[in-house]
Chain A
Amino acid sequence: MLYIKCPWCGYRDDAEFHYGGEAHIKRPFDADSLSDEEFSEYLFQKSNTKGLTLERWVHTSGCRRWFNVLRNTVTNEIIEVYPSDQLPSSKAGKEYYKSNWRRKSAAERLTTRQIEK
């Protein structure tokens, strides 16, 4: 049982929420320029980490808003809750974000390049 602190409604039982899976997966703008392997990485491959993970939740039976969570998948401890358009601000969250394999994936590199342009 998770006890999740919605940024707007406070602590609520996890039955009120829906899980949105891994956070910070960038959809490639120009998917045609990716190879099938690279697109598969974006579409199918999971981080599924044992330990810290960054994930999305939505408070379906409450305020219906999305937010992000830094959680430990072994202890289920929730370490940080932060807005869905931002990056984590805790040290552990920042480190996990930086070291995740997606930062080096072709899909993300392509998208980041395009946003910069």
Chain B
Amino acid sequence: MKKPRSNFGMQGLRSEKEKYSIFSLARNAFTNHENWAQAWKSPEPKTEYDVIIIGGGGHGLATAYYLASQHGMKNVAVIDKGWLGGGNTGRNTTIIRSNYMWDESAGIYEHSLKLWENLSQELNFNTMFSQRGVLTLAHSEHELKEMNRRVEAIRLNGIDSDVLNPAQIKKLVPIININPNLRYPVMGGFIQRRGGTARHDAVAWGYARAADSLGVDIIQNCEVTGFNIKNGKVTGVQTANGTIKAGKVGCVVAGHAGVLAGLAGFRLPIDSRPLQALVSEPIKPILDTVIMSNSVHMYVSQSDKGEMVFGAGADSYNSYAQKGSLNIIEGMLAAAVELFPVFSRLRMLRSWGGIVDTCPDASPIISKTPIDNLYFNCGWGTGGFKATPGSGHVFADLIARNEPNSITAPFTLNRFVDGYLIDEHGAAGVAH
């Protein structure tokens, strides 16, 4: 597999003029910022592409970008039924980490974290990636022991991970309540200091702009409604705007993976469920670490705008309605207020839901399918934002070479037949 090539300053952009820099900012200030070039075009679809990517979320856009930048495949289109980044990419709480337990997961998530570390440079787009550290709390003796074991496993894969005691946690996060009389007291935690957050929209927009400048067509508001399949091989997609021929098709539609698989005539081991998040009114900086707790299911970080961003749990039932049940939010907020009593005065501004694609083993599927030249990338469930660069990078490699590499091989669809599952249920931090 090719290593990601550093592309400082985006040589791919069509002209030097389009490069974002302090100079372009100054230049555009003279014209009241009215002459910025469009970040990406919205072309009419061609009749035929070498590769069509279905789904213009972060994963799909990243896939197209790496197809063009790493594999020289430029006759590529990304097709989305809505607007770019309007799925889970634009709805998630943006937590990034790679402290998963199994070797296979470490492989993909750490690959991704390494790409994050240089992504703003590579895309010439500020993704606001902030390695502020992700701290996962333990609330029982058992959880703490399990955490210690996990930390060793994670370190063996060369991934940074440290156990903290309650006093160290208090020092790092002054607003946390470490009173031992809590119903679920803070007994310790583990931190990945290289983990953090990024700006979700910027990730979609940065990949879109970079892919566009390498010749990729980004087509929005165009739903894929079927596949053309001939002798077991995909030859194109049917869309709301007519049929488009394709040499290869990569499908990256998150919660809709099962629907698209159904259109292609096979099934997936995936359930689509609502996952919710909410943000508070903006306040002054008060929390500079991501805090998560698996057992009380609460996680929180503070955005650069000052809002507290809360993530709740997934509902237990299948749904495509992009909204969840209120009791899930109530449970999460109760835990948040117990751990951070100052939050009791916060007012919440917005809550929303996204439909996540959960797999029985809580690991993704990056795989060939029963149809030749049709590839699926799905099953990221509640935690795929962190994987956006890595997932796009290895999925592009799978599509270009029609062969899994050492990172993607374990994530084959066939593991649900041969039983080689990658059980990440609760194995590392919370599910996100």
- Tell me the A residues contacting B by CB distance below 8 Å: 1-2, 13-15, 18-19, 21, 36-37, 40-41, 43-50, 53, 55, 73-76, 101
CB-based nearest B residue for A102: B267
Total cross-chain contacts (CB, 8 A): 62
Establish whether residues B318 and A44, one from each chain, have CB atoms under 8 Å apart when the complex forms: no
Please name 9 further chain A to chain B contacts, defined as beta carbons within 8 Å, in addition to the given A43-B416, A46-B270, A48-B268, sorted by A numbering: A2-B317, A13-B327, A19-B316, A45-B416, A46-B267, A48-B270, A48-B318, A50-B258, A55-B318
Establish whether residues B269 and A46, one from each chain, have CB atoms under 8 Å apart when the complex forms: yes
Establish whether residues A101 and B321, one from each chain, have CB atoms under 8 Å apart when the complex forms: no
Of B258, B259, B319, most A-chain CB atoms within 10 Å: B319
Establish whether residues B258 and A76, one from each chain, have CB atoms under 8 Å apart when the complex forms: no
Report B-chain residues with C-beta under 8 Å of the C-beta of A55. Answer: 317-318
**B326 partner, pick from A1, A45, A53, A73, beta carbons under 8 A:** A1
Report A-chain residues with C-beta under 8 Å of the C-beta of B326. Answer: 1
- Tell me the B residues contacting A by CB distance below 8 Å: 256, 258-259, 267-272, 316-321, 325-327, 360, 416-418
Report A-chain residues with C-beta under 8 Å of the C-beta of B417. Answer: 36-37, 40
Establish whether residues A41 and B316, one from each chain, have CB atoms under 8 Å apart when the complex forms: no
Establish whether residues B318 and A73, one from each chain, have CB atoms under 8 Å apart when the complex forms: yes
Given contacts A41-B267, A45-B267, contact A2 B325 (CB under 8 A): yes
Report A-chain residues with C-beta under 8 Å of the C-beta of B320. Answer: 50, 73-74
Report B-chain residues with C-beta under 8 Å of the C-beta of A76. Answer: 319, 321
9 residue pairs of the A-B complex, CB under 8 angstroms, read: A1-B325, A2-B325, A18-B316, A19-B316, A44-B269, A45-B267, A45-B416, A50-B256, A75-B321
Report B-chain residues with C-beta under 8 Å of the C-beta of A37. Answer: 417
Report A-chain residues with C-beta under 8 Å of the C-beta of B259. Answer: 50
B contact patch SS: loop
Tell me the complex Cα distance, A49–B270, Å: 10
Establish whether residues A48 and B321, one from each chain, have CB atoms under 8 Å apart when the complex forms: no
Establish whether residues A15 and B325, one from each chain, have CB atoms under 8 Å apart when the complex forms: yes
Report A-chain residues with C-beta under 8 Å of the C-beta of B318. Answer: 48, 53, 55, 73
Report B-chain residues with C-beta under 8 Å of the C-beta of A44. Answer: 269, 360, 416
Tell me the complex Cα distance, A101–B266, Å: 10
Establish whether residues B321 and A74, one from each chain, have CB atoms under 8 Å apart when the complex forms: yes
Tell me the complex Cα distance, A41–B326, Å: 34
CB-based nearest B residue for A38: B417
Tell me the complex Cα distance, A38–B249, Å: 27
Given contacts A40-B417, A50-B256, contact A14 B327 (CB under 8 A): yes
Establish whether residues A46 and B327, one from each chain, have CB atoms under 8 Å apart when the complex forms: no
Tell me the complex Cα distance, A55–B315, Å: 15
Tell me the complex Cα distance, A41–B258, Å: 14
Tell me the complex Cα distance, A36–B268, Å: 15
Report A-chain residues with C-beta under 8 Å of the C-beta of B418. Answer: 36
Closest CB in chain B relative to A70 CB, distance in Å: 13
CB-based nearest B residue for A101: B267
Closest CB in chain A relative to B105 CB, distance in Å: 19
Closest CB in chain B relative to A99 CB, distance in Å: 12
Closest CB in chain B relative to A59 CB, distance in Å: 14
Tell me the complex Cα distance, A37–B360, Å: 16
Closest CB in chain B relative to A27 CB, distance in Å: 16
Given contacts A1-B326, A48-B271, A48-B272, contact A73 B256 (CB under 8 A): no
Establish whether residues A46 and B325, one from each chain, have CB atoms under 8 Å apart when the complex forms: no
Given contacts A37-B417, A45-B268, contact A14 B325 (CB under 8 A): yes
Of A41, A76, A101, most B-chain CB atoms within 10 Å: A76
Tell me the complex Cα distance, A21–B272, Å: 11
Establish whether residues B317 and A46, one from each chain, have CB atoms under 8 Å apart when the complex forms: no
CB-based nearest B residue for A39: B417
Nearest first, the 4 A-B pairs at minimum CB distance are A15-B327, A44-B269, A48-B258, A19-B316
**B317 partner, pick from A13, A19, A49, beta carbons under 8 A:** A19
Report A-chain residues with C-beta under 8 Å of the C-beta of B270. Answer: 46, 48
Tell me the complex Cα distance, A73–B256, Å: 12
CB-based nearest B residue for A74: B320
Closest CB in chain B relative to A104 CB, distance in Å: 12
CB-based nearest B residue for A45: B267
